[in-house]
Structure 1
C-alpha cells in the first residue's frame, strides 16, 4: 500500500536510502530541504507541497548576498575613483583614467549587446593586447587593465550575481537591522546596500572629485548590474550564464529530486523554488499551476526552456513555436496547442490526451508511443510525422488534415479527404493514417536510375530471403526523387539492409547501359519494377501501395537464355579466344601465391577463367562479358589494397554475380563461383 505523508512536516528529511516510494502521497507536505535523490517516485502525489530552502539555509545565503553586495559596491566605487584620475595633474594618471573609462564603456556596451561571456572575452582580449602596445605607456595600460578592467568585470559579475540571486527569491535580505523582502523587490534593496556601502567607501577619499566619481561609479554599476540581472531572470539567452550560476546557488541546500524517477508524478500547485531536478526522469509528470517553476535547477530536462515551463504551468501554447525542441515524455494533457509549431520536435512518450492540436504544424514530429487519445487534429499539418505502432490514436477528433505545410501558393496542400466538402467520420482518421510499420525506407534524393534500383532491390531480396522484403509503397518527392518503402520481417536489421542496398545501387549506377542490360535481360520481374519506377518519376504525383509483391523476387529462378546479340552492334562478339588470351596475359603479370596451399588472386582468377570458358550454360556473349570482368580483376589485383582498385574489383564482382544469376544449380560454374568470388573479394579487402 502506498505510503501517506500528506500534510506532514518533512523539512530536511533524507529519503535517499528508500529506493521505492512509488505512489506515495506528499500532498500539502512541507518538503523544504528534503532529499529524494535516486528514489523511485513513480505516480507520487506532490500537489500543493512546498519545496525549497530551509530557514537556516536562507539566512546563510542572505549573508553571502550581503557580502557580495558590499564587495561589488566597493569595486564599482574603486572603478569610479580610477576614472576620476582623468582630472589628475599627473599625465600618467590621466592616461590611466581615460583608458579605464574607455574599457568600462566598451565593457558595458558589449555585455548589454552580446552577453556576459562576450564581455569577459573583451576584458581578456584587452588584457592580452595591453602588453603588446608599442609605446611607452604600455605599462600604464597594463596597470589600467589590472585595476580598472579586471575590477570592472569582477564587480559587474559580483553585483549582477548578488542582484540576480535576490531576484531569484533566495530569501529575505536584512537591511538596517531587520528588513525581510523577497522576490523582485529585493533588487532595489540590494542596490541600496551596494550604493550605501559604495558611498561610505567613497567618502573615505579626501579628494572631492574622486569621491564624486566613486559614487557615480557605484550608481552606474548598480544600474548596469540590475539591468543584467533583470534580463537574465527574464530568460535572455545572452545572459544565461548569470542565470545558471544564480539558480545553482539558490538551489544549494534546497529540495533535491536529482536522479529520481518522477514518471506520472503530480506537482499540481506545488511550490518548487530552489529545487534540483537534474538527471530526473520526468515522463508525463504534471506541472499544472505549479509555482516558481522558473526557479528550479532543471539540468538537461525539458524544464530548462522558459516557454516550455510556461506551457506546463498554464496549459496555453496556442501560436507558440516549439520547433526542434526535445519534449520527450512531456505531459500536455488538455493543453491548448492550436496553431502551435512542433516542426522536428520530439514528442515521443508524451501525454497529449484531449489536447487541442488544431492546425498544429507536426512536420517531422516524432510521436513514438505518444498518447493522442481524444486529441483534436482538425487542420493539422502532418508532413512526414513519425507515428509508430505504439502511438495511441483512439478517439482522435479530426475532420481533415493536410499532408504538407502550407505555402502562399497553396494554403491547403494535399488535404485529406481530397473533397473539401467531405470530412472524416468518427474513427475514420485513425484507420486512414495508420502507418505501415516495420518498413525499410529507401529514399533516393538525386539522379534516380530506375534500372539500377530494380537490380539492387532484386539482389537484396535474394541475398536476404529471411527479411521477406515486399514493396508496399512508392512515392515521388520533388522532380527527381523517390521513396520506396518495403515491408520487412519483424526483427530485420533495417540499417544493414539499407547500407547493403545503397552500396550495390551506387555500384550499379556507374555501369554502362550495356552492362546493366546484361543483368536485366533475363528477368521480367526486374523489368516490371523498373517500368513502375520510371512511371512514378514521370508522373506529376505518384503514389502506389501494395501493387508490387516483391517477396516473389527473392525466390526467382531464372532458366534458359536470351538472345542478346546486337547489344554491341551487328557483328558477333569479339573472339573468345582473343579475350581469353588477354585475360591470361593480365594474369601472368600477377605474382604467384607465397604459399602453395593458399591460392592468391592469380590462382583464383585462373580457376574462374577456366570455369567460364568451359561452361556450357553461359552464352558466348555473356562468356565474353564475364572474361572482361576477370581481366578487370586481374588488372586491379596488381595493387589490391588501393581504394580505386578495390572499387573496380567490387564492380567486376557485382557484374559477375549478375551474369551467373539464374544459371541452373547443377552448373559447375555456379558452384565454383559461389566459392571463388567470396575468396577473391576477401583478398581485395571487400569482405
Structure 2
C-alpha cells in the first residue's frame, strides 16, 4: 500500500534512497526535503511546496547584502578614479580621470550588448590603449595613466560581478521585492563607500559627486544582475551560478526516479532535479519551474518548460533537442517543429500535432494514442513496433517538407479529395516499423557509406540488417533503407552508423582507400551499389510492401521495377490478385534468339551463384555481399559472359532477367552490375 504524506509538514525531512513509489505528497510542505536517489515512480506531488526553508532564505539574503556592501567599495574606487577628471590643476590626475571615464563607459556599453566577460576584456584593452593615447597626448606619465585605466576596469568588473551575482541571488531567493531591496542597498552602499574613499584621498573633491557617480555605476551593475536573473543569453552563467547557491539547501530530487510522477500546480522554486529520471512526468501548471536546477534533463530547455506548464506549444521550434520521455499529453503543438528531435518514449497522447514537422524524429516507443496528426510532415521519421498509434486522428500526411514550389509534397492519400478513414492511418504506417532509414543530407560518400554499413552489420549481428532500398533525393541527398529484426533499437543503430560515417568522411581519400583494401570485397560491392544508385534516377528496392512515400492509401502488394529498356506494355499492376482480363495494353514477345540468349545468360549466372554459395554462406547481409563480390569478379574476368549478361539486360530488362534466376542474392547482384549496360 502506498504511503500517504498529503498536506503534511515535511520541511527538512530526509527520504534519501527510500522506496516511495506511488506515495501521496499532494499539498505537502517539502521545502528543504531530501529525496536524493529515492524511488518515486507515480508519486503525487500536486500542489506541493518545494524550495528553501525560511532560515536559509534569510541567510542567503544576508549573504547577498554583504556582497552588495563589498561591491559598493569597488564601485567607490571606480567613482573615485573617474572624479579625478575634476582636478584640472593636476594634468596627471586629469588624464587618469578621463581614461577611467572612457574605460567605464566602454565597459558598461559592452556588458549591456555582449555580456560581462566581453565587457571585462573590452575594459582592460581600452584601459591600456586609451591610457597610452591620453598619456602621450597630454605628456603625462602614460605608464601611470595606463595603470589607472587597467585598475579602473578591474575594480569596476569585480564590483559589477559581485553586484550582479548578489542581485541575481536575491531575486532567485526572494523574487521582486528582494531584488528591489538589493538594488537600494547597492546604491546606498556604493554612495557611502565612494564618499568615504574620496574624502580619504590626498585632496578633497566635492563629496557628493563621487557618490552620484558610484550610484550610477551601481544602477548599471544592478541592471546586469536583473538581466542575468531573467536568463539573458550573455550573462546566463551568472544566473546559473546564483541558482546553484539558491538550490543548495532547497528540495533535492537529484538522481531520483520520477517516472510518471505528478507535479501539477506544485511550487518548485529552488529545487534540484539534476540527473533525475523524468519519463512521462507531469508538470502541468507547475509554478516557478524556471527557478529550478535542471542539470542535463530536458527541463534545461526554457521554451519547453513553458510548454510543459501551459500546454501551449504551437509554432514552437524543438529541432534536435533531446526530449526523451517528455510528457506533452494534450498539448497544442500545431505547426511545431521537431526536426531531428529525440522523442522516444514521449507521451503525446491526445496532443494536437496538426502540420507538425516530424522530420527525422526519433519516435521509439512514443505514445500517439488519440493524437491528431492531420497534415503532419513525416519525412524519414523513425518509428518502431513500440510506437503507439491507437485512435490517432489523421486525415492525411505529407512525406516531404514543403517548398515554395510544392507546398503540399507527397500527400498521402495521393488523391487530394480522399482522406484516411478513422483508424486507417495505423494500417497505413504499420508496414514500415521495422526499417532503419539512414538519411544522408549532404556530402554523400559511397565509400564511407559502404564501410559504415558493413561495420554496423558486424557490430550488431542480432539486428539482422538487410538492405531493402536506396533512393536519391535532389542533388546531394541519399537514403539507405535497411530492414531490421523486430525489437532492434533503431535509434542506437542510427546514431552509431552516423558516428562511424562522419569519422570516415574526415579521412583523406588515400586513408579511406587503404582502409577499404584492408577489408574484404563486400565493401566494394556495396560501394558499387551506392554509386549505381547515385548515378541513376531510379529507385532500387527489393520487393517490399508499403515503403515510405511509396505507400498507398490502403495496404497492397507493391513492387518497384526498373523499366529502362523493358518491352512490356500496359504498365505494372499492384494488387493482391489479378486476372488476365484486368491487364490492358499490348505485350511484346521476345523472338526465339532473344529468349535463348536471355535464358542462357541467366542459367550461367545462376550456376555461378550456386557454385559460390557452396563455398561462401549467404545467411547474413555481409555474407551475401561476399558472394556478390566474387560473382562480379568472375563475370568481369570472363568477357564473353559479361557481354552476354549486358546483352540480356538490354534486350529483356533487369526484371525479366531476375525472374529467370532463383537465388537469394540476385537482387544485390543486379544492383551491382546495373551500370554495365549504361557504360557500354
**How far 1:407 moved relative to its partner?**
1.7
2:472–2:533 contact (8 Å) kept in structure 1: no
Instruction: Give runs of aligned pairs for residues 503-542 of structure 1, distance below 5 A.
Output: 534=536, 536=538
Instruction: Give runs of aligned pairs for residues 545-584 of structure 1, distance below 5 A.
Output: 547=559, 557-558=607-608
1:98 aligns with 2:102: no
| 2:416 alignment counterpart | 420
Distance in 2, matches of 1:33 and 1:248, equals 14
1:79–1:152 contact (8 Å) kept in structure 2: yes
Task: Indicate how the Cα distance of structure 1 residues 557 and 55 shifts in structure 2: closer, same or farther if over 3 A, else same.
Answer: farther
**How far 1:126 moved relative to its partner?**
5.6
Distance in 1, matches of 2:470 and 2:116, equals 53
1:360 aligns with 2:373: no
2:382–2:436 contact (8 Å) kept in structure 1: no
Instruction: Give runs of aligned pairs for residues 290-301 of structure 1, distance below 5 A.
Output: 290-301=286-297
**How far 1:410 moved relative to its partner?**
1.3
Residue deviations 1:267-312, cap 9 Å, x none?
1111111111111111111111111111111111122222111111
Instruction: Give runs of aligned pairs for residues 21-170 of structure 1, distance below 5 A.
Output: 21-88=20-87, 89-123=89-123, 125=125, 137-145=141-149, 147-168=151-172, 170=173
Task: Indicate how the Cα distance of structure 1 residues 290 and 469 shifts in structure 2: closer, same or farther if over 3 A, else same.
Answer: closer
**How far 1:356 moved relative to its partner?**
0.6
**How far 1:146 moved relative to its partner?**
5.2
| Secondary structure of 2:472 counterpart | strand
| Secondary structure of 1:396 counterpart | coil
Distance in 1, matches of 2:610 and 2:468, equals 30
**How far 1:348 moved relative to its partner?**
1.4
| Secondary structure of 2:153 counterpart | helix
Structure 1 stretches lacking a partner, 5+ long:
172-182, 521-525, 562-617, 626-661, 663-687
| Secondary structure of 1:485 counterpart | strand
Find the partner of 1:397 among 382, 393, 399. Answer: 393
| Secondary structure of 1:237 counterpart | coil
Task: Indicate how the Cα distance of structure 1 residues 309 and 189 shifts in structure 2: closer, same or farther if over 3 A, else same.
Answer: same
| Secondary structure of 2:249 counterpart | coil
TM-score by length of 1: 0.68
Instruction: Give runs of aligned pairs for residues 370-381 of structure 1, distance below 5 A.
Output: 370-381=366-377
Task: Indicate how the Cα distance of structure 1 residues 479 and 538 shifts in structure 2: closer, same or farther if over 3 A, else same.
Answer: farther
| 1:221 alignment counterpart | 217
2:72–2:186 contact (8 Å) kept in structure 1: yes
**How far 1:349 moved relative to its partner?**
1.4
Residue deviations 1:80-132, cap 9 Å, x none?
12100012222222222122112111110111111122123334556787999
Task: Indicate how the Cα distance of structure 1 residues 476 and 23 shifts in structure 2: closer, same or farther if over 3 A, else same.
Answer: same
| 1:198 alignment counterpart | 190
Residue deviations 1:540-597, cap 9 Å, x none?
x995986489xx99x9651799xxxxxxxxxxxxxxxxxxxxxxxxxxxxxxxxxxxx
**How far 1:465 moved relative to its partner?**
11
Find the partner of 1:189 among 176, 181, 187. Answer: 181
TM-score by length of 2: 0.69
**How far 1:315 moved relative to its partner?**
0.7
**How far 1:211 moved relative to its partner?**
2.6
1:12–1:31 contact (8 Å) kept in structure 2: yes
Distance in 2, matches of 1:32 and 1:372, equals 36
| Secondary structure of 1:558 counterpart | helix
Task: Indicate how the Cα distance of structure 1 residues 472 and 619 shifts in structure 2: closer, same or farther if over 3 A, else same.
Answer: closer
| 1:306 alignment counterpart | 302
| 2:673 alignment counterpart | none
**How far 1:238 moved relative to its partner?**
1.0
**How far 1:338 moved relative to its partner?**
0.8
Larger Rg: 1
Distance in 2, matches of 1:94 and 1:74, equals 22
1:474–1:542 contact (8 Å) kept in structure 2: no
Question: RMSD of the TM alignment (CA)?
Answer: 4.6
1:81–1:213 contact (8 Å) kept in structure 2: no
